[in-house]
Every structure is written in C-alpha cells, then in structure tokens.
Chains A and B, each alone.
Chain A
C-alpha cells in the first residue's frame, strides 16, 4: 500500500470541496445575524439556518475523524460554536422574556429569599434601635455612627432651623448656591446607597457575614440620624422626608442583603447538590433579585431627586411612601394564579 496511486474513494480534499459551499453560506448568514436582527433575513434564509447548522456540525464530526488540516478544523469549530449560541441562545422573543420577568420571575425570586429577607430586615432594625437609643442618651455617639461626608452638617449640634431646611421645610435656604450643592449631595447619596446595596450582595460570597455587618451598619447610620431629628422635635417631618423614597430604598437594601445572604447560605449548606451547583443555583435566584433591586433603586433615586423637592407636605410624603411600600409588598407576596 506504500505507493497507492489509485485515488481513494474518500479524501479530505474531496470532502472539503463538496461541503465548502454550505460552510461559506452559514458563515455569511451568521455574520448578518450577529450584526442585525433576525428580521433582516428572508423566510427562506431562516429556514436554511438550522439545516446549515446541522450540516456544519456533521462536517465538524467528519473533519475531526478524518482531516488533519488544523485550519479547517478550527474554522469548523468556531463556525459550529457561533451557530450553536445563535440558534440555542435565545429561545423567546425579547418582549416575551421581559414580560415574563416582570409578571413571574422577579416576584418569584423575591419570594424565594423570604427567610433571608426577614433575617436582614431584623438586623437592619436592630441597627436602627441600637444607634437611636445610644445617640438619644449621649449625642456624642452620633459621630461614631455617621461619617462626616454623609451627615452634611446634620449633626446633634445643628439648629432646628437648619435641620428643617435640609428636609425641605421652613424658609428656603438662600438661593442657587445651596441648591447646586444639594444636587451634588443627592447624587453622592444615590450612588453611595446603590454601591452599598451591590456591595452587600457581592459580600455574600464570604458566607454572608460581611453582608449582615453592612446591613447592621446601614441601620446604625439611619438610627443616629433619626435620633438627631427626633431630639429636635422633627421626628415626624424627618419620617416623611425619609418615607417618600426610603420605603423603596430600604426595601431594596434589605432585598440586596437577602440576595447576598442566600449565596452565603448556599455555600455553607449546599443541600443535595454539590457546592458548585448549589452556588450557581443560588446565584441565579440572587441575580434576579438584584435586577429587581436595581430597578427599585432607580425608582428611589427618581423619587429622591424629584418627588422630594416638589412635594413638601409631610402627610403627602407619608402617603406616597406608604402606598409604594404596600405596592411592593403586594407585587411580591400577594397570592396569584400560577403560584406554587
């Protein structure tokens, strides 16, 4: 067989010349799909797509078994991979996916972490209670709980008039300058709060312990602030100032902590699955919760930015905050059809 001169019935080059056209066509269609949407393809082309995909996979199998042309194998591998992810990547329309997320996935994920939510909420309240009672008995404690850049002058030494002006009551503080300073401060607060929420989720990785510490700390800051305002007889007004966006924002903070805690718990107690699978499963639930948290934080940010400036009546502030809280609770926990 050493000098076989007869052309073999099967040869790698014949294999290639027979199928090359399909590969090139598949490549062209994939490139167009990756650039634009499926709408740019005609019906015939769409129908060709799965056929070409299977042909490419079959070519890949044959090439791996019979061809030693590295470039050919690499090309077929990358083509098959691109095809796989395009054909199997998205199984529903974007709109349907989005709708299902809002009607089902999001509330279901939040319901799934209800135990963690309760734990985190208790921790947060514990933080509030701790710092409130300590600051109320000795105002010096305030500086231990609230970092200077967050306090923005709202310390126990501040006058009642000044405190009132910071929550949008009393005489308007003088003009443009303060206003612009406040918008920077509001932006800072929004990004800070969002970061804290994301961080308390991310820190769930360390068995959830830092998450709980962070939530407790958030409670401490809040409690100290409350004590300062309550001490000057502004407790109800401060409550309204806080409630208009705070119910949404604090709820989001609690949920982000719960999502982080879920990951920590999955690491410690993986249950039936192995640790890696349990972690990935918890991560997906937590991921859904975090999408919700980001949406809630955006809502809170808008309320904080606009609602709080425009609405200064304490009763209306309470009404809006309370309605939102009830709305979120109903959205997440109210029984509905198709619920397990």
Chain B
C-alpha cells in the first residue's frame, strides 16, 4: 500500500471510530455518531452570538421605553441580570425541549443524548450546563476583571484566562468528545442531522444494453469505492465526474466511448447490483483491497 492508501484506510477507521453502540429496546443498534469538536464549537458560537444579540435588543428596548433618567442603571441591570439569566437558562431550557438541542446545536445538526440509552433527564441537562460557568464564563470573567481594574496586569489576567480555559478544552482529550459537563451528567453529544430521502440512483430506467460491464471489470471495486462513486454522482460536479470517469476507465481498460455521466451511472448500477448480490450471499467486500 502506498501513502495515499494508508491515509485513506486511516480515514475510514477514524470514521468508524466515531460510531458508538446505542441499542434500542427493539434490539437495533442505532450506531450514533459522536459530534466533532468543530461542530460543538460552531454551535457554541452561534448560541453566544444569539444571546448577545438578544441582550442588545433588550437594552435598546429598555432605553426606548425608559424616560431616560436612569438609563445607564437600567442598561447595567439588564446586562448584569440578563446575561446571567440568559446564559444559565438558554442552554438548559432548549436542551430540555423535544429535540434536546439549543438553536446553535440544531443549526449544525447535533443533539444531547443520555449515554446509557435512557431518557435525557432534567437533572442531567442542568448538571451538564451549569458546568459551563466554569468552562467558559470563568475565563471571560478573568479577562473582564483584567480589563476593568488595574489590580492585576494584563499578563496575569491573560494567564488566568488561559489556565481556566484549559478546563474547556477537556473534550479534546477523550475519544467521546465529552465536556466536563457531559462527564458529570452522563451524556453525549451526537450528530442528529436530517438526511432527506434521496432518489435511488440505481432505479433510473435508462436503456443500457449498449453499456455492459463484464464480471472482471466490475470485480475491481468494493463497497467503499461504490459509495464514493454514489457521492460523486449525487453532487454532480463536472470536473469531479470527468476525473472519476477517467480513473475508472484507465483501471478497467475501457475506451472513452460514451459520455462520462452515462458511463458512471451504468457502472454504478451494475457494480451495486453485483455487490448487493454478494451481500445476499453473505459476502461483503469492504473495499478494493479486500479479497473477493
């Protein structure tokens, strides 16, 4: 195997590594996929942005309604109390809902689940979110205190923020991407994106008498390559299609006789039929390196 193939195999292994067994009472494994740290961070940024926007709107409203005698006070109270209440109850409130996800989490398609497969209880949601105070808002306080007062130098407050922020990076150091809050609450954050029911690429009833591949020509690929081909066909990007078609033609030694798309669709259909027939006989060929 060359370097590219090794990297490829590593990528497949990493993907499989993200899957966690999650067996329903009916005995089916849902194979939940752990959400990546990038998704988690994106969700957090969206949520914090929404909270700050909400507070800004609230302040503007208060200033607009208030007669202006103690506008500064009202604004101060809104930010003090509002930010505290919002940051505490925003996450808890939304995660207690039917979809167990804040708006940010919904946007990136992830949700909270109980690790043991049971229902997500209110105490778990509250426990996992109160820890945020330690992970995010304590470092922010350090920065704020450093900026507001001259008690400590910039270096000290930055060091304090960095030190407390390390708690927030806890999720990078375990395979299940658990925050400290997840650890305490017994929860996971998993991918819960919705997949539309797409059309079946193999079901297209195009005449393909002209394009018949021999068993030897179909025998060079496995499931992994088939599903990569499916992805290419669904995305339908001209350059990618041309590249893939050229690669397959070289591999099986076919002349460049028909249009790339027709060629790939026919090849996909017949390769899938062949591999699915194998499945029925209990043979699953993972990729092109696996023996027939």
Contacts and interface: CB of A to CB of B under 8 A. Distances in A.
Contact of A90 (B81, B119, B194, B279): B119
Interface SS, B side: helix
Interface stretch (B3-11, B224-232, B243-251): B224-232
A187 B80 contact: yes
Contact of A24 (B98, B113, B197): B197
Interface in A87-121: 88-91, 97, 101, 105, 109
B272 A69 contact: yes
Contacts of A23: 197
Contacts of A54: 26
A194 interface: yes
Interface in B105-124: 111, 113, 115-116, 119-124
A184 B76 contact: yes
A85 B111 CA distance: 11
A201 B193 contact: no
A33 B70 CA distance: 46
Contact of A287 (B24, B185, B214): B185
Interface stretch (B39-47, B50-58, B199-207): B199-207
Interface in A235-262: none
Interface string A7-45: 010111100100010011001000001100000000000
B30 A84 contact: yes
A74 B123 CA distance: 32
A277 B122 CA distance: 18
B274 to A, nearest CB: 9
A240 B192 CA distance: 53
Q: Looking at A20, A72, A287, which has the most chain B CB atoms within 10 Å of its CB?
A: A287
B195 A74 contact: yes
B215 A2 contact: yes
Q: What are the 7 A-B residue pairs with the smallest beta carbon separation, nearest first?
A: A280-B186, A287-B123, A287-B127, A283-B184, A202-B134, A74-B195, A71-B198
Contacts of A209: none
B7 to A, nearest CB: 21
Contact of B195 (A66, A67, A78, A281): A78
B275 interface: yes
Contacts of A203: 134
A78 B28 CA distance: 13
Nearest to A36: B98
A61 B223 contact: no
Q: Looking at A82, A88, A91, A205, which has the most chain B CB atoms within 10 Å of its CB?
A: A205
B195 A2 contact: no
A183 B80 CA distance: 12
B183 interface: yes
Interface in A247-306: 263, 276-277, 279-288, 290-291, 294
B1 interface: no
A334 B49 CA distance: 46
A4 B202 CA distance: 17
B28 A60 contact: yes
Contacts of A281: 186
A286 B195 contact: no
A183 B72 CA distance: 12
A13 to B, nearest CB: 5
A180 interface: yes
15 contacts: A24-B197, A69-B202, A71-B195, A78-B192, A81-B32, A85-B113, A91-B119, A183-B77, A187-B81, A191-B80, A199-B133, A281-B186, A286-B184, A290-B127, A291-B123
Interface string A148-188: 00000000000000000000000000001000110110011
Contacts of A101: 122
B98 A291 contact: no
A215 B24 CA distance: 43
B277 interface: yes
A195 interface: yes
A70 B160 CA distance: 48
B70 A180 contact: yes
A85 B100 contact: yes
B195 A191 contact: no
A198 interface: yes
A199 B100 contact: no
Contacts of B291: none
A75 B227 CA distance: 15
Nearest to B279: A66
Given A287-B185, A290-B126, A68 B197 contact: no
B192 A276 contact: no
B100 A198 contact: no
Contact of A71 (B131, B184, B234): B234
A67 to B, nearest CB: 7
